[in-house]
């Protein structure tokens, strides 16, 4: 194959350089339909952990329906995650955040700076979009290169990107990357996004993550899924080697 121009950056290279990467149309239409049906059922059957005027939060959704669980080891998702976090990746958290029409925007913020100040992209949060999200529909914003100087905040704001997503798009960003949910106009639909966060094996999962103890998930889990759930590292993955 003849390559003309510059080689494309890998996901890990984009994360290192810009603090985020994008995978457009990664989730198939069939899987998205399953996810939408599961989300409808979730809304009917589960009381959210919190329900604020601008946002509703459902944690640990992978335990609720296989449509969500099947995202954690989706080959395209793992390609970027393994490149960026490493072959020893596991889940840190998994939730759905529903943005709702609001008067303003969420504040720009960074996640888990105890991790992010040392190794920003080893705490990698993936936003997985079910539907088209317009620029005024609660679009997730990220600020390129904001992970490069954690002591700066407002100086970065003019350089924001509001991510206008399509169905099945994935936006992945590290802990130190400034991000937020943007303006959500009254006429726009509620905006559910599945968030999956991955960390390396040696980092601690939080207490509120319960997938590791979920019998239903563990019973049928492949060795790869057991690792991702945080139960057992795959035998072929060694923490003493870098691959």
Ligand X SMILES: O=C(O)CCC(=O)C(=O)O
* Contact between 22 and ligand X per CB under 6 A: no
Q: How far is the CB of 40 from ligand X (least distance, A)?
A: 19
Going by C-beta distance under 8 Å and a sequence separation of 6 or more, which residues neighbour residue 124? 15, 81, 84, 85, 172, 173, 174, 197, 198, 199
Nearest-CA neighbor of 61 among 43, 82, 78, 79?
43
Compute CA distances 210 → 128, 135, 152, whole Å.
20, 34, 34
Contact 130, 192 (CB under 8 A): yes
Contact 42, 194 (CB under 8 A): no
**Contact letters (x/-) for ligand X, 69-98, by CB under 6 A?**
----------------------------x-
Please identify, using beta-carbon distances, which residue of 60 and 87 lies nearer to ligand X: 60
Please identify, using beta-carbon distances, which residue of 193 and 221 lies nearer to ligand X: 193
Please identify, using beta-carbon distances, which residue of 171 and 221 lies nearer to ligand X: 171
**Contact letters (x/-) for ligand X, 170-189, by CB under 6 A?**
---------xxx--------
Strands 191-199 and 90-99: antiparallel
Contact 92, 82 (CB under 8 A): no
Q: How far is the CB of 207 from ligand X (least distance, A)?
A: 18
Pairwise CA distance, residues 218 & 213, whole Å: 8
**DSSP 8-state code for residue 127:** E
Q: How far is the CB of 125 from ligand X (least distance, A)?
A: 6
Please identify, using beta-carbon distances, which residue of 109 and 213 lies nearer to ligand X: 109
**Contact letters (x/-) for ligand X, 37-76, by CB under 6 A?**
----------------------------------------
Does residue 220 come out as left (phi exceeding 0), alpha (psi in the -120 to 50 range) or beta? alpha
User: Contacting ligand X (CB under 6 A), which of 14, 23, 140, 146?
Assistant: 140
User: Contacting ligand X (CB under 6 A), which of 193, 196, 199, 221?
Assistant: 193
User: Contacting ligand X (CB under 6 A), which of 23, 99, 146, 177?
Assistant: 99
Number of residues that bind ligand X (CB under 6 A): 10
Positions in 103-122 near ligand X (CB under 6 A): 106, 111
Beta strands (DSSP E) in 28-159 are 50-51, 55-59, 90-99, 124-129, 140-142
Name the site residues for ligand X (rule: CB under 6 A): 97, 99, 106, 111, 140, 179-181, 193, 195
């Amino acid at each position: 194959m003849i390559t003309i121009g510059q080689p494309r950056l890998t996901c890990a290279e984009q994360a290192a350089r810009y603090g985020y990467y994008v995978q457009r149309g990664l989730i198939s239409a069939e899987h998205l339909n399953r996810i939408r049906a599961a989300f409808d059922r979730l809304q009917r059957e589960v009381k959210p952990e919190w329900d604020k005027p601008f946002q509703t939060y459902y944690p640990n959704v992978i335990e609720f329906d296989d449509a969500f669980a099947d995202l954690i080891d989706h080959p395209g998702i793992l390609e970027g995650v393994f490149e960026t976090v490493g072959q020893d990746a596991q889940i840190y958290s998994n939730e759905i955040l529903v943005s709702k029409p609001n008067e303003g925007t969420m504040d720009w913020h960074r996640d888990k700076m105890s991790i992010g100040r040392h190794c920003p992209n080893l705490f990698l949060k993936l936003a997985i979009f079910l539907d088209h999200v317009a620029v005024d529909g609660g679009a997730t914003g990220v600020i390129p290169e904001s992970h490069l100087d954690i002591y700066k905040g407002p100086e970065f704001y003019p350089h924001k990107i509001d991510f206008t997503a399509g169905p099945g798009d994935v936006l992945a960003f590290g802990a130190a990357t400034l991000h937020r949910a943007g303006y959500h106009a009254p006429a726009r639909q509620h905006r559910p996004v599945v968030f999956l966060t991955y960390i390396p094996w040696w980092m601690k999962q939080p207490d509120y993550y319960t997938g590791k103890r979920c019998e239903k998930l563990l019973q049928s889990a492949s060795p790869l899924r057991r690792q991702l759930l945080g139960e057992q590292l795959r035998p072929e993955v060694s923490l003493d080697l870098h691959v």
